Copies of this chain bind each other. A is one copy, B any other.
Amino acid sequence: MCRMSTVLDLVFSALSDPTRRAILTMLLEDDMAVTDVAAPFEMSLAAISKHLMILADAGLIVQERRGRVKWCQLQPDALRAATVWMQGFGQFEPIDLDAFEAFLAQELCQDHTDDRPT
């Protein structure tokens, strides 16, 4: 009867693409212009633009146009609902922050031009 969850649909499917996760990781460092986001990837600007729209639809980023450049800013609050949902399944234990730091370190030193192989 009610229906809900479209938010979770959008967030999880946005997160399911490695390119988009890489973009979010980049934005964790600082806000970026669309062109600069696209730079490390071996993919057209239009493709990155689409990815950014998907992230924006999910609420994971906000894009603010200033002059001719559009700035992308991470919106971590959008992960709240999804995190809450997932935590419900994870036997309620505290999150291991060290694990995330380690993962992030590994991901940041990666060569994105090699992403999405075939």
Task: Provide the A56-94 mask, 1 if CB < 8 A to any CB of B, else 0.
Answer: 000000000000000000101101111111111111100
For the complex formed, measure the closest distance between the CB of A92 and the CB atoms of chain B, giving whole angstroms.
Answer: 7
For A100, the chain B residues whose CB sits under 8 A away are 84-85, 87-88
How big is the A interface, by class?
A: 35 or more
Instruction: Verify if A44 is at the interface (C-beta below 8 Å from B).
Output: no
Among A1-36, those with CB < 8 Å from B are 1-5, 8-9, 12-13, 15-18, 21, 24, 28
Q: Assembly of this chain: how many copies?
A: 2
| Contact partner, A95, options B3, B4, B13, B83, Cβ 8 Å | B83
For A90, the chain B residues whose CB sits under 8 A away are 76-77, 79-80, 83
Please give 9 more A-B residue pairs, beta carbons under 8 A apart, in addition to A8-B16, A92-B97: A8-B15, A12-B15, A15-B16, A76-B91, A79-B86, A80-B90, A83-B86, A88-B101, A88-B104
